[in-house]
Amino acid sequence: MDAMDTSDLSATSTAEPKVRRGFDQKVFVNRSLTLENIKCYGFDMDYTMAMYKSPDYESLGFELIRDRMVSVGYPHELLRYTYDPSFPTHGLVIDTTYGNLLKVDSNGNILICSHGFSFLKGEDIQTYYPNKFIQRGDTDRFYILNTLFNLSETYLYSCLVDFFTRCTRYTNLPTGYQHGDLFMSFRSMFQDVRDAMDFIHDTGTLKERTIKNLDKYVVKDPNLTVLLNRIKEVAKVFLATNSDYSYTEAIMKYLLESNIKTGKPKKSWRSFFDLVVVDTRKPLFFAEGTVLRQVDTDTGKLRIGTYTGDLAHGTVYSGGSSDIVCDLLKVKGMDILYVGDHIFGDILKSKKRQGWKTFLVVPELTKELQVWEDKKSLFEELKHLDIFLAELYKHMDSGSKECPDISNIQMRMNVLTYRMDKSYGQMGSLLRSGSRQTLFASQLMRYADLYSSTCLNLLHYPFNYLFMAPPVLMPHEAMSQNSAEFATSDLAVKNNMVTMNRN
């Protein structure tokens, strides 16, 4: 839900001009939250404070993983593949048994299924999944792609499946490919992709390429320093990132120090924060955590021993836990608003284990809003069809013998859903498929108190702002509202039926 714009209420009007926020400047609300009660703001770095330029950054990751796969023995033909940003979206699920890429809802019902770049329909999906359903809890088989860093490996895995399916040298089997005495399972391929991804991160290959060309891969926005300065006037601020110190140093210097105007005294990027913690190993950071150690900022090396003292300003720490952060900053979990992009590592765990207030950064939201605005008429028609179907059966009971013919309505609903999905990209919207919400959308609504396309949108709200979530009606409460809309829906559906019959 959008934040309630209290500046529009006459009861709160002042002499100050009213603020009008565009869709791309808004912060959206799942649970009411008063910024005045927030005593501490925490930030992740990657894809939160440091926004990477898409699709250039994903293309770089894809090329590095692809080249690594070829270097360990995969066919050189894979080098022909290049990254296509229209295909992957995060929040998808990889089935490591059958090699399929799935979009599912919160209960595990399958919304979209692809094998390589071939999209499966109806009976084909039921061949793999008789109930069009998966057990999401089976994490050994199903891997959820929770972060934007996963986009590169998602696309590469689909490239592998596409290549081996088409290549005549290999025999297609239900769980992999056979070539002579060699059997290559979808699971082993997935693990190889994961290992390649870990390799480019652990060896620093991706980071080195990024640091060498920061202008190409990292968005630099002067409003970031404005936001941090304003927050520090009213609350404490900390940075908690999984990145190591040397990479954090390079990225944050680029984002914060190069924006300082000429003539003003130089200000270290660390001075924008009350506490900086690197190597946090989230989500472990929100549980038992790891040993807290000090970082020697001159060499980047860790000092021996566990740090047990009070907070030392200007000091960078490594490891630790969310409990240690609260102790050092002398704040409670309920007083913290944590801003991150990882629905699991940043948002879900900080909310479930620590009770922190949460702000999810969803960079794709800008495009989602644009498409939604352009295609909302399709959703409105879909909603009216849902209501019309409900009304058709409303006056029937267990003694009714007649069965209404709804085949044309179902066909129209399928067409509308398909048209909506394709407006967003090949895998459809990050948040929905037709009128059904995705797994990612359900997690966003459950665990993120606030969400927006960028953390910089906090600049458009005063720091005593009340983010008010409108009340959500349960189905039995919404019944009367649906009945009131039926007259309009009935007319719209009948008009569509006439048009379809004419065509």
Residue 191 corresponds to which tokens in the numbers above?
Answer: 């693990």
Cα dihedral 49, 50, 53, 55 sign: negative
Residue 202 corresponds to which tokens in the numbers above?
Answer: 């652990």
In the DSSP assignment, the letter for residue 10 is G
Nearest to 200 by CA among 318, 52, 50, 66: 66
Nearest to 58 by CA among 158, 194, 156: 156
* Residue 148 to residue 52: CA distance in whole angstroms: 10
46 catalytic residue (yes or no): yes
Helix axes 205-212, 245-252, angle to 10 degrees: 20
* Residue 205 to residue 61: CA distance in whole angstroms: 10
Cβ atoms within 10 Å, residue 225: 18
* Residue 43 to residue 276: CA distance in whole angstroms: 10
Residue type for position 494: K
Which H or E run includes 314?
none
- CB of 295 within 8 A of CB of 278? yes
Tell me phi and psi for residue 352, to 5 degrees: -75, -40
User: In the chain, count of helices (H) and strands (E)?
Assistant: 14, 21
CA atoms within 13 A on the CB side of 82: 2
Which H or E run includes 43?
strand 40-43
Q: Which of 5, 46, 274, 323 is catalytic?
A: 46
Q: Which of 44, 274, 341, 449 is catalytic?
A: 44
- CB of 379 within 8 A of CB of 413? no
What are the beta bridge partners of residue 227? Answer: none
44 catalytic residue (yes or no): yes
* Residue 33 to residue 358: CA distance in whole angstroms: 10
* Residue 31 to residue 139: CA distance in whole angstroms: 29
* Residue 426 to residue 105: CA distance in whole angstroms: 17
In the DSSP assignment, the letter for residue 18 is P
What are the beta bridge partners of residue 29? Answer: 450
* Beta-sheet pairing, 40-43 with 357-361: unpaired
- CB of 162 within 8 A of CB of 78? no
* Residue 41 to residue 243: CA distance in whole angstroms: 19
Q: At CA 374, angle to CA 368 and CA 376, rounded to 5?
A: 85
Residue type for position 162: D
Which residues participate in catalysis according to the annotation? 44, 46
